[in-house]
A and B are shown apart, each in its own frame.
Chain A
Amino acid sequence: MAKLTKHYNFFIITILIIIILVLSIIDLLNGSVKISFNDAINLLINKLDNNSLNTIFFDIRIPRIITAILSGIALSISGLLMQTLFRNPLAGPYVLGISSGAGLGVALSVMGFSAFGLNFIEVAGSGGSILAACLGSGFFMFLIFVISLKIKDVMTLLVAGMLLGSAASAIINLFQFVSSEQSLKLFVIWTMGSLTNTTWQQLALMSFTILIGVLISIFIAYPLNVWLLGDDNAKSSGININKIRNLLFISATLLAGSVTAFCGPLAFIGIAAPHIARLIFKTSNHKLLIPLSAIIGVIMLLIADILTQLPFTNFLIPINTTTSLLGVPIVLWIVLKGKKMWI
């Protein structure tokens, strides 16, 4: 970033943070039960003695906001890391089939074991499905990476990702066919995505895995800037590429895997957020892009969450639908922007 633009950037960041605050408040008050701003203040300072409102506010709304913020941070940073790894602006957990991998992991843990009369979630707890989702997404990311070593073409790689995604769906279909009705329902609801099903304990676990993922990403931000110049340039600068790549894998997988495990596959935030960040701040520096993408990701996810509650109705749209509606135009725009597939 040039010197002149520093004040400009500071100004934009301040505005974005104010937007996050406003959106959080709207999201907090919005829902099937409307909460007024005054009630919210009173609830916060313990002055409102209304048990049901109390439960809705502290056990549903606030966890939902925190989940939205955490997921926004995690998905956008995960997307950013994948775009750097593949040197491809269209890389992201969803399009590369990595979310499908997580889905396969969850399907296996939720339904696969029920086919053998076991309830995996009961056996291993919610940590089990995080683990399953992370293993699934890590495995798929590894597959895609191996493919990307052979295929240099951006579009072909995306097709490969879609193929992997369909393979995952095929196996998931098989599980659905043999699983019990109860776990099938559990899984289908999971695929629609939701920010509302997280309890405080799950939130603690999710925060922990995301914190580790984010810390790793900050730790490798500087070498990633050099790596963006290409493998040869990075190696000749003294960077241990294998080490950085492994750390990137762990970080991206933890971030995408944990969100996907709890909230389902949330599409397109991972691709779109880093792009908007690059576009607004005109930088390829990861030390800036990591926090900036996270901010954009949080804003996108909060908007998507507000949109799930259709105004003036009681209809709830699955969050996966709203994130797609927000993200797809941006992805289309990247594709249409033409040949300069640079990040």
Chain B
Amino acid sequence: MENIVSTKELITGYYNNGKFNAIPQYKINIAAKEGELIALIGSNGNGKTTLLKTLAGLQKYKSGEINICGNSPKTANKLDFAKVLSIATTELLKIAYTTVYEFVMLGRYPYSNFFGKIKNDDIEIVNMALNETGIIHKKDELLNRLSDGERQRAVIARTLSQNTNVILLDEPTAFLDIKNKFEIFNLLKTLTLKFNKTIIFSSHDINTAIHIADKIWLLKTNCIINKIPEQIIFDDDLANEFNSDYLQIDKNSGNLNFINKSSAFIGLEGNSKIQTLTKNALNRIGFEISSNKNITLNVIIEEKGNSFIWKLNAQNEIFIFNQLEELLLHLKFYKLKN
């Protein structure tokens, strides 16, 4: 399959007082195929937005080549280019009196004459876009009355109505609650599968991105990586880029986990299903589980009918708790005293 988006030796960045500041500090060679959902991830300042804007022709680049469906953003006719690539940036929409329908209709600009006469196929495509993004019930609502999640749907609907092969989205799920976030991700996935569109979105939500994207573009400080998510996890690319004192990447799932700093050891016994949760709770308040039999601090979980009790053995003194919360409170004080 041919590449629908590709760059060759591309140097992106911005001009400041006539001098070019390259962001990132290396040449970018990437490619995307038809129907691929691509997550662009990387730390703040590594050039995610710059790359997206450069691909869209909104920002100048220093050297190299960009190919979007056979067009270069530098040389292509602007209107023709707008028919192959659409982008939604994080630009604020400060319009007081535009309805969702009017807003999505503006995506038809490249296809209309200079005065914007609305044709039948414009109406058809706009309705389709509103339907696909699940915002049709709000089509007569003013844009600034929408919730963040609804507005994001309207923004995606506008890029859809522009009817392009490639859609770029800069942080489409920023500011969204978790439910909306997953719905938007699912929407992007559906659009790539149903309409064979190539969607490239930037995100800080690596955990979700590696579960839904076909490819990951990982903008590191020294190079860009373009692989399928599983390969990225296997090759430890995320770990090398993101591991820190507080963050660890799970080698199997690729999930990012918080590292709890522990300052004491505790024993944990009991083979019940509550054990993992108890272990997490103990980790959270700074206890590391030890298998050393001689440890003077021990927790034993016992099953009692439908509920559990936690027995704490602290230097041969026994305490019994019916709630995990009570155990944790006691241990916090114990830690402070010792």
Residue ranges of A at the interface with B (Cβ–Cβ < 8 Å): 1-3, 87, 219, 221-223, 225-226, 228-233, 235-240, 278, 281-285, 287, 340-343
Contacts and interface: CB of A to CB of B under 8 A. Distances in A.
Contact of B58 (A219, A236, A282, A285): A236
B76 to A, nearest CB: 10
B116 A239 contact: no
29 contacts: A2-B99, A2-B140, A87-B94, A223-B109, A225-B106, A226-B106, A226-B109, A228-B95, A228-B98, A229-B106, A231-B91, A232-B89, A233-B91, A236-B86, A237-B106, A238-B80, A238-B83, A238-B109, A239-B78, A278-B96, A278-B97, A281-B97, A282-B97, A283-B98, A284-B96, A285-B98, A342-B94, A343-B95, A343-B96
Contacts of A342: 94-96, 144
B148 to A, nearest CB: 16
The 3 closest A-B pairs by CB, nearest first: A238-B82, A222-B116, A238-B79
A259 to B, nearest CB: 26
Contacts of A3: 140
Contacts, number: 91
A342 to B, nearest CB: 4
Contact of B91 (A1, A223, A230, A282): A230
A284 B97 contact: yes
Contacts of B102: 285
A230 to B, nearest CB: 4
A236 B98 contact: no
A343 B107 CA distance: 20
B227 to A, nearest CB: 28
Chain A contact residues: helix, strand, loop or mixed:
loop
B86 A283 contact: no
Contacts of B98: 228, 283-285
B75 to A, nearest CB: 14
Interface residues of B, number: 38
A222 B107 contact: no
Contacts of A233: 88-89, 91
B110 interface: yes
A343 B94 contact: yes
A2 B116 CA distance: 18
B94 A232 contact: no
Given A219-B114, A229-B95, A285-B98, 7 more contacts: A2-B140, A223-B109, A237-B109, A237-B162, A238-B110, A240-B78, A283-B98
Which residue of A223, A225, A341 has the most chain B CB atoms within 10 A of its CB atom?
A225
Contacts of B82: 236-238
